[in-house]
């Protein structure tokens, strides 16, 4: 197992475009988390799934953001009508439930120009 995998690693997009990121968790991990990290700050929680169910969403997750985990395996995070303020590192993590440790991927760095 190679750990949590995120794709792409870097994305540059023009303001107003839609972008989609993918996260492949560690096999058999039933929990999957999305976080966002801006420069100089710690990661901020966005949402998490248990299997295919999205159980919690942060107020940071505006209506332009949508996350899915259709078969309880990989997950996608879509941002519609991107804004410059969306520029950040988007991190995915997975775990075997709580309170076990979560393992993070290397993130997708989004730059909105």
Q: Does 56 bind another protein (CB under 8 A)?
A: yes
Return the residue of 29, 105, 110, 112 that touches another protein, per CB under 8 A.
105
HEC letters along the chain: CCCCEEECCEEEECCCCCEEEEEECCCCCCEEEEEEECCCCCCEEEEEEECCEEEEECCCCCCCEEEECCCCCCEEEEECCCCHHHCEEEEEEEECCCCCCCEECCCEEEEEC
Return the residue of 75, 82, 94, 95 that touches another protein, per CB under 8 A.
95
Q: Exposure of 77 by Cβ count < 10 A (0-12 exposed, 13-18 middle, 19+ buried)?
A: buried
Q: Does 49 bind another protein (CB under 8 A)?
A: no
Choose between 14 and 101: whose C-beta lies nearer to another protein: 101
Choose between 35 and 80: whose C-beta lies nearer to another protein: 35
Minimum distance, C-beta of residue 19 to another protein, in the bound complex (Å)? 19
Return the residue of 4, 26, 61, 67 that touches another protein, per CB under 8 A.
4
Residues that bind another protein (CB under 8 A): 4, 33, 35, 40-45, 48, 55-56, 58, 91, 93, 95, 97-107
């Amino acid at each position: 197992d190679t750990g949590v995998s995120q794709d792409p690693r870097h994305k540059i997009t023009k303001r107003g475009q839609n972008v989609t990121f993918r996260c492949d968790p560690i096999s058999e991990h039933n929990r999957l988390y999305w976080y966002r990290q801006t420069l100089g700050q710690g990661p901020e929680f966005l949402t998490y799934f248990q299997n295919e169910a999205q159980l919690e969403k942060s107020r940071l997750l505006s209506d332009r953001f949508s996350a899915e985990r259709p078969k309880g395996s990989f997950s996608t995070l879509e941002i519609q009508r991107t804004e410059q303020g969306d520029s950040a590192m988007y991190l995915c993590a997975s775990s075997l439930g709580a309170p076990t440790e979560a393992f993070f991927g290397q993130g997708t760095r989004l730059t909105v120009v």
